[in-house]
Amino acid sequence: MRFLLDTNVLSELTRRVPNPFVRANIDRFADDLALPSVSLHEILYGALRLPESRKRRAIFAQLDYIRATMPILPYDEPAATWHASERSRLSQIGLMPAFADGQIAAIAATRELILVTNNLRDFQYFDGLAI
C-alpha cells in the first residue's frame, strides 16, 4: 500500500458517472490503495440516510466492490495517539480541523501512506502527513 483515499475520492467512485481521471487512477493504482474506516463510515452514513432508491442501491453496490478489493484500515491506538497530539498542537494555534479529517490524517500518517484527497485545505496543517 502506498495511498490512502479520503472520503471525497471514495464519494467520487460512488457517483453514477465518476470522473474519468479519478476512475483511471483508481484502476491504475488499485494494488496500492487502502481506505480508512472513517471514510467507509462517512459514505455508509450518507447512503443509509437516503430513501430506498436506485441511487442508494448503486452506492451500496460500489461499496461492496470497494470492500472486496481494497483494504480498510482502522483508526487504531497509534492513529489515536498521533491524532491527539496533532489536535492539541493545532488547537493551540487556533485551528480546529474536522474530527473525522484528523482521524483520516492519523491513519495515513501513522502508516506512512500518501493521502489522496480533493480537499487539500482540510489537511494542510497536519505535520508529518504526505498529501
pLDDT for 65 equals 87
* 127 Cβ contact partners less than 8 Å away, ≥ 6 residues apart: 86, 89
Helix, strand, coil percent values for the chain (each to nearest 5): 60, 10, 30
Side-chain-side CA neighbours of 37 within 13 Å: the count stands at: 7
Query: What are 63-121's pLDDT values in tens digits?
Result: 998 899 999 999 999 999 999 999 999 999 999 999 999 999 999 999 999 999 999 99
Q: Which residue has the cell 493521502?
A: 115
> Which pLDDT band holds residue 125 (cuts at 50, 70, 90)?
very high
Whether the pLDDT of residue 10 is over 90: the answer is no
CA angle 22, 76, 85 (to 5 degrees): 95
The domains found in the chain, sorted by start residue, are: 3-73 (3.40.50.1010), 77-123 (no CATH)
Read off the pLDDT band of 53 (50, 70, 90): very high
For residue 22, give the nearest of 34, 7, 40, 10 by alpha carbon. Answer: 10
